[in-house]
């Protein structure tokens, strides 16, 4: 074993630094601390968390890195989620071949990003409509001449509360299947958006946990996020128009056929057959899967950047670290089908 003796040299002159030589430390191991450990993630016995390599991502990562595209180039951003596409202009009318390629890239990467796309609000809507009909959000104002756009305007007085993992509008009977978000004005630093792969989060679960979740349904409710902004004289009407929605805790993607987690703290009130109090602990434990860095990618915005994500396969959050700076974003959401087990 290698060892050395440490000495400290002190210069008596005023304000002189303390100088250190090699420390008096004997190195007793010749192996990496991870050597010999299992080649998979495993739970800590003392904390409710997992450590270890995300080896279950390897095949998907290899598949995605091997993809090539006819109408654009792609640079992956996460192990299994996110790619920045270049060599394509979204501000012009697109051929069906390009639209099909973009849809395939979205299904593969789960979220795709673009730079330098100088959309008008009308062009933003036109691009998103290539992939389906668009919804109008009843609880977030458009503030544009396009009712299909919602506009998020944050400043010193209206702060960001989107910093919790969620799928959008799961309180709908048929939540949106995808969304297109454009940066209008962004702070110099901060305001990134993070995305998490819900296929990867489901795949790693213990078989017993999967068996429990596969039979579970969750009740989603708009009131938790938007109820405070509904005028008192409209609440009964809105409740009738948007009743609580029940969706499976784990769904099957209609395009890929893969299973994904479909739970979030923003809109889920409780599990079917359980009270709110009985549901919270399990809901929180499952939702924490989104916190796993290996399942994430992070996008730093510039003006006219665009993110296009699959609202089923991924969750997202916006980092609220830019107050009191201004952050203005516009989003179009594409109507989806009712989630299925």
Domain CATH for 165: 3.60.130.10
Helices within the chain (DSSP H only): 58-65, 96-109, 121-129, 198-203, 207-214, 223-226, 235-241, 276-287
Residue 43 lies in a domain: no
Number of domains, the chain: 1
DSSP assignment of 224-285: HHHGGGS-GGGHHHHHHHS--EEEESEEE-TTT--EEE---TTTEEEETTS-HHHHHHHHHH
Q: List C-alpha distances in Å: 181 to 84, 101, 117.
A: 14, 19, 11
Q: Which residues of the chain have pLDDT under 70?
A: 1-23, 37-38, 44, 48
> How much is the pLDDT for 143?
77
> How much is the pLDDT for 11?
54
Known catalytic membership, residue 168: yes
Phi then psi dihedrals of residue 51, to 5 deg? -135, 165
> How much is the pLDDT for 33?
73
pTM: 0.89
Structural domain for 316, as ranges = 61-341
What's the pLDDT tens digit per position in 101-143? 999 999 999 999 999 999 999 999 999 999 999 999 999 888 7
Location of structure tokens 């107050």: 323
Residue 254 lies in a domain: yes
Provide the token pair at 276. Answer: 């709110």
- Whole-number Å distance between alpha carbons of 246 and 243: 10
> How much is the pLDDT for 6?
44
Residue 202 lies in a domain: yes
β-pairing, 8-10 with 50-51? unpaired
Known catalytic membership, residue 247: no
> How much is the pLDDT for 24?
73
- Whole-number Å distance between alpha carbons of 213 and 24: 53
Residue 146 lies in a domain: yes
Residue 164 lies in a domain: yes
> How much is the pLDDT for 13?
56
Which three-class secondary structure state does DSSP give residue 297?
strand
Residue 7 lies in a domain: no
Catalytic residue among 168, 197, 203, 221: 168
Catalytic residue among 167, 247, 316, 327: 316
Known catalytic membership, residue 316: yes
> How much is the pLDDT for 7?
47
Known catalytic membership, residue 61: no
Please provide the size of the chain in residues: 341
Which three-class secondary structure state does DSSP give residue 337?
coil
CB distance 315 to 123 below 8 Å: no
> How much is the pLDDT for 31?
80
Q: Which residues, in sequence order, are bridge partners of residue 331?
A: 150, 181
CB distance 263 to 287 below 8 Å: yes
Residue 9 lies in a domain: no
Catalytic residue among 101, 124, 137, 166: 166
Q: What share of the chain is helix, strand, coil (3-state, %, to 5)?
A: 25, 25, 50
> How much is the pLDDT for 23?
66
> How much is the pLDDT for 3?
42
Residue 18 lies in a domain: no
CB distance 163 to 289 below 8 Å: no
- Whole-number Å distance between alpha carbons of 76 and 328: 26
> How much is the pLDDT for 48?
66
């Amino acid at each position: 074993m290698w060892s050395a003796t440490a000495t400290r040299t002190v210069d008596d002159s005023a304000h002189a630094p303390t100088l250190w030589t090699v420390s008096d430390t004997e190195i007793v191991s010749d192996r990496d601390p991870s050597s010999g450990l299992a080649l998979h993630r495993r739970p800590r016995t003392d904390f409710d968390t997992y450590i270890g390599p995300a080896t279950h991502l390897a095949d998907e990562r290899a598949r995605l890195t091997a993809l090539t595209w006819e109408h654009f180039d792609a640079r992956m951003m996460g192990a299994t989620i996110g790619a920045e596409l270049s060599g394509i202009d979204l501000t012009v009318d697109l051929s069906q071949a390009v639209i099909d390629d973009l849809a395939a890239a979205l299904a593969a990467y789960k979220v795709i990003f673009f730079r330098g796309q100088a959309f008008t609000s009308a062009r933003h809507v036109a691009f998103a409509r290539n992939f389906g009909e668009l919804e109008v959000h009843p609880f977030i104002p458009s503030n544009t001449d396009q009712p299909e756009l919602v506009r998020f305007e944050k400043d010193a007085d209206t702060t960001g509360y989107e910093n919790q993992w969620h799928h959008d509008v799961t309180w709908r009977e048929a939540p949106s299947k995808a969304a297109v978000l454009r940066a209008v004005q962004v702070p110099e630093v901060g305001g990134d958006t993070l995305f998490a792969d819900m296929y990867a989060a489901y795949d790693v679960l213990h078989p017993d946990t999967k068996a429990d979740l596969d039979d579970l349904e969750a009740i989603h409710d708009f009131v938790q996020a938007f109820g405070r902004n509904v005028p008192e004289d409209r609440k009964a009407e809105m409740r009738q128009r948007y009743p609580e929605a029940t969706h499976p805790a784990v769904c099957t993607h209609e395009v890929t056929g893969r299973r994904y987690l479909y739970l979030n703290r923003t809109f889920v009130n409780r599990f079917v057959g359980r009270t709110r109090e009985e549901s919270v602990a399990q809901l929180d434990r499952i939702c924490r899967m989104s916190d796993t860095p290996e399942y994430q990618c992070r996008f730093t915005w510039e003006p006219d950047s665009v993110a296009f994500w699959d609202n089923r396969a991924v969750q997202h959050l916006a980092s609220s670290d830019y107050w009191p700076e201004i952050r203005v974003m516009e989003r179009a959401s594409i109507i989806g089908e009712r989630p299925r087990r």
